[in-house]
Chain A
Amino acid sequence: MGDIASLIFKRLGYGLITLLVISIIIFFMVELLPGDIAQAVLGQGATEENLAALREEMGLNKPAVVRYLEWLSGAVVGNFGESIVTGERVSSVITERFINTLFLAAYAAVIAVPFAITLGVIVALLRNTVFDRVANVLTLTSISSPEFFLGYILILYLSVKAQMFPAIASLSADMTFLELLHRTFLPALTLVLVVTAHMMRMTRAAIINLLASPYIEMARLKGTPPWKVIVKHALPNAWAPIINVVALNLAYLITGVVLVEVVFVYPGIGQSLVDAVSKRDFPVVQACCLIFAATFILLNLAADVGAILTNPRLRHPK
């Protein structure tokens, strides 16, 4: 177990360095965008005079490196600063949005992960049958369509025609949990359709790969029923690649959903990132991107730890 702890610490250390590098890259990419924040705020109404006044007020007259270092010195002690445009604390701007994003990701994951893995096991069991082919074609079609298109299709059939679910997932404070689930069902379903294929096919491939191994042959020869061969003998050894793919998809559910948010008007973090980029509001951009980066780093770490825990050979290295 000590090995796992040291692995986690080592990886977290690397993760922090990665985040630092990412923050530098993001800062200078925002700097490279044409126009500056004062111009973005005043829009077409900008004159030299009020631009100068606004730049002064926002502290844009300092050199870029100084502004970055000021931000960094706050960030290392957990203070991500204030939004340059609104003057509000970045944490208060983002927290609620991030919770919304996590909720939608969790909603989609709770449906998608069990569904994809179960489906993967079933198609592995029934491989090369009609069911296998149909499941593959359908999931591959849904992963190949852009998510906004899937969203529009779902809106057309389930919202406009059947009128079962609302077309926009706007939230209000006085909603019950059931109402919330009903209102956000279409965006969650869109995400489920997008991530299912990847996880299902990896489950299928990992299991089929193992089915050629001698110990599976042995299990079959001693008369174990096919479903038991897969669930009890093949699946435990297939967990490592499956967990990796699941982690990758979970990260996607958090970081890659901006299109779904736009289509369903869901107030998630992707939308605030897009808004912040359009206004060049660097502290907000920085915070959103670092959250995304940290999500990837942590989920990757979780996948590796999961792979070790499910594999006795890695747990007890000689």
Chain B
Amino acid sequence: MTRRNQKLIDRIAEEARNGRISRRDFMNYSLAAGLTATTATGLWTTKASAQPKSGGTFRWGLHDGNSSDTHDPGTYVTRQMIFLGHTHRSYLTMINGDGSLGPDLATNWEASPDATEWTFELNPAASFHSGKPVTATDVIASLNHHRGDESTSAAKALLTDVTDITADGENTIVVTLARGNADLPWLMTDYHFAICPANDDGTIDWRSGDGSGPYKIEDGEFGVSWLLSRHDGWHGEGAYFDEVRILVLNDPNARQTALVTGDVDAVSLIELKTMALMQRDPNIVIHNIPSAAAITMPMHCDTAPFDNVDVRNALKLAMNRDDIIEKIAFGAATKANDFHHSPAQPYWPEGIEQREYDPDQARSLLRKAGAEGLTVNLSTADSVYAGAVDMAVLYAEHAKAAGINVNVVREPNDGYYSDVWLVKPFTLVSWGARPTPDVMYTLAYKSDAAWNESRWQNERFNELLLQAKSELDDSLRAEMYREMAILAKDDGGTIIPFFNNFVYANRANVGTPDQLAASWENDGARAASRWWFTD
């Protein structure tokens, strides 16, 4: 077999592993690449859809860790803690590889018809690493950690509607809400809501690092490394590795070199600039997964000139998204359409017309608004996104063709989210992935939200948002999200250039499932319990 064919077959196998092609296509492509039918069948079973097997130490390089991180789930902020949280702790629910919602600690959940009362049944087999079973008391204490005046949790806003959490026996909890929320089980996948053992006074013991996740912490230092071993009493499926060693590798060069030389088995981020070079290495498999993380450019709808919807739409039309995705995101992004709802989230409305680059129409909208020769300041900083300033400059070039003069203002990295975001009228912002459209819209588009970054007020949108929140009928709900998407696209104050993809990689001897969860890098931050070694 020639080297080129080998490469081709590797690529076909890789596509098959990621579930992008079916067995039939796999056979056809393999035959075309010069394999015999028998070899191709063998390859399908051994290479493309290998069965997980146990053993080995999984060395995992993460791109974002700080030595002043702590085990407090309320202040989890770096990837180090989010990924560690998904490895040594459990959540009530989890996002599956195919994007659906599945059980973690909770085996079953049900809502009252108005979605104001949710009952979660806990897995009676679940236990902490200390041996103590996970009970309703632990879950209630863990959720209460994010509630109340004393709470310092960053996830407090997600639970403001919760009025009470009570136990119904050892293994059932009931969550009561002030307003119906059909998304509550999805909210429980938020990385802050890790379940920790309860203390007698109703607080949680987060300092010890005890958890009920697939691996228990043996040793570790924040911002450096962690060694974990399999928790034999884990209630879930998977956890194929005997041990997991997490290494914090903040420097992109160190991280990628470690992957190339085999010092680590997987990394959480590949720099887009070097993605093409890394792809040439046959020992490395790169995953490029569309996510719900987004870059947004909010304009304050109560501030001139953005208070005019024609001006806002002209600015949206003046952006060449394809060019930005190609030059700034190196192709690793999904084109967005000015509504903050990604194809990686449930209820995504298909078939809404894509807004394309149209400087002529932008110009005529400006003429209509009497704002020809418009000049606006766009604030951004390097820390927002790798290439944020370049992206703003590129956008300014696109906008010139529509007669719009965009001044790119480079703000300091430090304090960008306290002094610039929500303060300056036109900024560039990076948003992490949120599990559902409701969470995203409630957080940053609801009229009275603290983070309503575009100060957008649309009565119909807010009415639909409230209705959809408590609607348990999926098809009705999807219809409402479609209408909201169109409202946000045509009236809203936020330009959304793209949803960034997660680009990460592993050595070729690491087996991964056919579909990878898109909630975080590395299979929804759960690579340690979902991946395995093939050799």
A residues neighboring B (CB under 8 Å):
33-35, 39, 41-50, 53-54, 57, 83, 85-87, 93, 96-97, 152, 155, 159-160, 163, 166-168, 170, 172-173, 262-265, 267, 271-272, 275-276, 278-279, 281, 284
| Contact of A166 with B261 in the complex, beta carbons under 8 Å | yes
| Contact of B227 with A172 in the complex, beta carbons under 8 Å | yes
| Contact of B414 with A262 in the complex, beta carbons under 8 Å | no
Chain B positions 65 through 90: 1 when the CB is less than 8 Å from some CB of chain A, otherwise 0? 01111100001010000000000000
| Contact of B257 with A168 in the complex, beta carbons under 8 Å | yes
Closest to B261 in A: A167
Residues of B within 8 A of A275 (CB): 66-68, 223
Query: A53-B152, A275-B68 are contacts. A41–B157 as well, Cβ < 8 Å?
Result: no
Question: Within the assembled complex, what's the spacing in Å between the Cα atoms of A46 and B70?
Answer: 17
Chain B positions 52 through 70: 1 when the CB is less than 8 Å from some CB of chain A, otherwise 0? 0000000000000011111
Question: Within the assembled complex, what's the spacing in Å between the Cα atoms of A184 and B219?
Answer: 21
Distance from B98 Cβ to chain A, minimum over Cβ atoms (Å): 28
| Contact of A159 with B257 in the complex, beta carbons under 8 Å | yes
Query: A166-B263, A262-B251 are contacts. A173–B150 as well, Cβ < 8 Å?
Result: no
Question: Within the assembled complex, what's the spacing in Å between the Cα atoms of A167 and B247?
Answer: 13
Closest to A161 in B: B261
| Contact of A284 with B68 in the complex, beta carbons under 8 Å | yes
Residues of B within 8 A of A264 (CB): 254
| Contact of B254 with A265 in the complex, beta carbons under 8 Å | yes
Question: Within the assembled complex, what's the spacing in Å between the Cα atoms of A96 and B223?
Answer: 13
Residues of B within 8 A of A57 (CB): 152
Residues of B within 8 A of A96 (CB): 221
Residues of B within 8 A of A39 (CB): 415, 417-418
Closest to B412 in A: A34
Question: Within the assembled complex, what's the spacing in Å between the Cα atoms of A276 and B68?
Answer: 7
| Contact of B152 with A271 in the complex, beta carbons under 8 Å | no
30 example contacts (A-B, Cβ-Cβ < 8 A) are as follows A33-B414, A34-B419, A35-B415, A35-B418, A50-B152, A50-B156, A53-B150, A86-B69, A93-B67, A96-B221, A97-B67, A152-B253, A160-B257, A168-B247, A168-B257, A168-B258, A172-B225, A262-B250, A263-B251, A263-B253, A264-B254, A265-B250, A265-B254, A267-B221, A267-B223, A267-B224, A267-B225, A271-B223, A272-B223, A284-B68
Question: Within the assembled complex, what's the spacing in Å between the Cα atoms of A57 and B250?
Answer: 29
B residues neighboring A (CB under 8 Å):
66-70, 75, 77, 149-157, 219, 221-225, 227, 247-251, 253-254, 257-258, 260-261, 263, 412, 414-415, 417-419, 432, 450
Question: Within the assembled complex, what's the spacing in Å between the Cα atoms of A269 and B149?
Answer: 37
Residues of B within 8 A of A271 (CB): 67, 223
Instruction: Please name the 3 residue pairs, one residue from A and one from B, whose CB atoms are nearest each other, closest first.
Output: A45-B154, A34-B415, A35-B415
Query: A48-B450, A155-B257, A166-B261 are contacts. A43–B417 as well, Cβ < 8 Å?
Result: yes
Question: Within the assembled complex, what's the spacing in Å between the Cα atoms of A167 and B204?
Answer: 40
Distance from A313 Cβ to chain B, minimum over Cβ atoms (Å): 49
Residues of A within 8 A of B152 (CB): 42, 50, 53-54, 57
Instruction: Name the one of A45, A167, A172 contacting B263, with C-beta atoms under 8 angstroms.
Output: A167
Residues of B within 8 A of A48 (CB): 450
Closest to B414 in A: A34
Select the residue from A42, A167, A264, A278 with max chain B CB neighbours within 10 A. Answer: A167
Residues of A within 8 A of B157 (CB): 47
| Contact of B225 with A170 in the complex, beta carbons under 8 Å | yes
**What would 9 more interface pairs be, CB under 8 Å, given A49-B156, A272-B223?**
A41-B77, A42-B75, A43-B417, A45-B77, A53-B152, A265-B254, A276-B67, A279-B68, A284-B68
| Contact of A168 with B254 in the complex, beta carbons under 8 Å | yes
Question: Within the assembled complex, what's the spacing in Å between the Cα atoms of A45 and B263?
Answer: 34
Question: Within the assembled complex, what's the spacing in Å between the Cα atoms of A278 and B414?
Answer: 8
Residues of A within 8 A of B247 (CB): 168, 170, 265
Instruction: Name the one of A33, A53, A262 contacting B149, with C-beta atoms under 8 angstroms.
Output: A53
Residues of B within 8 A of A85 (CB): 68, 70
Residues of B within 8 A of A170 (CB): 224-225, 247
Query: A45-B154, A45-B155, A271-B223 are contacts. A35–B68 as well, Cβ < 8 Å?
Result: no
Closest to A57 in B: B152
Question: Within the assembled complex, what's the spacing in Å between the Cα atoms of A86 and B75?
Answer: 11
| Contact of A83 with B68 in the complex, beta carbons under 8 Å | yes
Residues of A within 8 A of B258 (CB): 167-168, 265
Query: A45-B77, A57-B152 are contacts. A86–B254 as well, Cβ < 8 Å?
Result: no
Distance from A190 Cβ to chain B, minimum over Cβ atoms (Å): 13
Distance from B437 Cβ to chain A, minimum over Cβ atoms (Å): 19
| Contact of B260 with A160 in the complex, beta carbons under 8 Å | yes
Distance from B66 Cβ to chain A, minimum over Cβ atoms (Å): 5
Closest to B248 in A: A265
Distance from A182 Cβ to chain B, minimum over Cβ atoms (Å): 13
Instruction: Name the one of B69, B154, B261 contacting A42, with C-beta atoms under 8 angstroms.
Output: B154
Question: Within the assembled complex, what's the spacing in Å between the Cα atoms of A34 and B153?
Answer: 22
Instruction: Name the one of A41, A49, A168 contacting B75, with C-beta atoms under 8 angstroms.
Output: A41
Distance from A37 Cβ to chain B, minimum over Cβ atoms (Å): 9
Question: Within the assembled complex, what's the spacing in Å between the Cα atoms of A172 and B226?
Answer: 10
Distance from A169 Cβ to chain B, minimum over Cβ atoms (Å): 9
Distance from A49 Cβ to chain B, minimum over Cβ atoms (Å): 7
Closest to B71 in A: A86
Distance from B453 Cβ to chain A, minimum over Cβ atoms (Å): 11
Distance from A11 Cβ to chain B, minimum over Cβ atoms (Å): 33
